Structure 1
Amino acid sequence: MSEQELQFHYFKMHDSDNNNKLDGCELIKSLIHWHEQGKAQENSGHPQHEEKIFSNDELSALIDPILNSDDHNQDGFIDYPEFVRAQHKAAQQQQQEQQQQQPHP
């Protein structure tokens, strides 16, 4: 699968109501999925089964910044073009951070 196909698959995997937009609940589920994948990799493939229940304030603190920075048309959703734009922006930021961490000759 190409990188674009993987991005689309990831987006559609979390678009539970199939409206081609991610709402706050779908964003939370995608964040939890992404976080659980990261934890599983950190634990060498042995995920720990500790669950955290988030308060409404904690959930808002997670989702509001995403919507503020990535919801360009301010409709309360992240549509696929906004998702792709956010993914590109995150990849560029990560690349810049890696370049800054490398020693300069």
Structure 2
Amino acid sequence: MGHARLAPGFSLNEARIGTVEGGESGVLVWKFDQLVAILTRIDEETYSTKGKWFLETGFGLLTGQHKNFDTIEEAVSWLGKYTFPDPVLSADSSADAAGSV
């Protein structure tokens, strides 16, 4: 995962996700410094899914979505299609930008 080529604006933080006893390997997916999803690494040899990624939870437009992906790059690319395109500026940052001219 260290050499994953991600869609623009995305970054990942490795984390232990408490979905099973002892937790499982996962990543927090950020887009423009906003947490948009949590992915876990699937570790089930029985179903030939070992090493794939699962969308545990998504936020915003991704709420309620669950999906498997073959690679982390595929997952982030898919997430890019279903998240807001650009960061939303708050009223404070908009006013700051207008006032700094």
With the length of structure 2 as denominator, give the TM-score of the two structures: 0.25
Q: Which has the higher strand share?
A: 2
